[in-house]
Amino acid sequence: MSKKEYNTWNKGKKIDKIKYPNWGIGFKGKKHSEKTRIKISLGNKGKNVSQETKTKMSNKRKEYIKFHPQMGKNNPNWKGGRKICPKGYVYIHLPTHKFCDCKGYIPEHRLVIEKHLGRYLKPNEIPHHINNIKSDNRIENFMLFKNRGYHRLFHIKGFCGIEGIIFNGSRK
């Protein structure tokens, strides 16, 4: 017997192929209409969220926190919003940051450089720890590269040229 004849929900009972001749075929061989394809493509594209929707989402979040009081600082396991990931980088809980992850954390080394430069770092700008200690987040220990290419070149050759470096903490 083939695998299509058994499903977990029917607990091993055989499907009657005469009664259900198209069992297991699903949407195979069928095509969406043009109107449906347009709807699907529009639904998959990243749309801008209106201010009204953002407000609704914010209110829902506040309502959720109100009824779930053990989040963040109120949780008995709260460790101050600072954690060290397995690779050795320090992350800070800052859910208001523009580039925080889905749990509200941002790498501390990016925050230190942003504070020094007075602006957000672009996603393609790469910070580098000069002494290779990933938890040493002093401003003197950083270089900031324009992109991954210049950073990779620096690791391969030991230099990348002045055009690839935005900031060098060792040369204040």
pLDDT one-digit tens code per residue, 81-126: 899 999 999 999 988 888 888 888 899 999 999 999 999 999 999 9
Alpha-carbon span 139 to 135, nearest angstrom? 12
CA distance 57 to 36: 28
pTM: 0.57
CA distance 143 to 147: 12
Beta-strand ranges (E) seen in the chain are 82-84, 90-93, 105-107, 126-129, 142-145, 165-168
Can you give the pLDDT at residue 154? 87
Sort 102 into a burial class: Cβ within 10 Å, 0-12 / 13-18 / 19+.
exposed
Q: Name the residue among 108, 79, 75, 110 with its Cα closest to residue 92.
A: 108
Q: pLDDT tens digit string along 138-161?
A: 999 999 999 998 888 888 888 777
CA distances from 76 to 62, 69, 71, 80, 86 (A): 20, 11, 9, 11, 23
Given this model, what pLDDT does residue 77 score? 83
CATH architecture of the domain with residue range 81-168: Alpha-Beta Complex (3.90)
pLDDT of residue 119: 93
Residue 88, Ramachandran bin (φ over 0: left; ψ between -120 and 50: alpha; else beta): left
Give the C-alpha separation, 26 to 16, whole Å.
Answer: 16
Q: Enumerate the domain spans of the chain.
A: 81-168
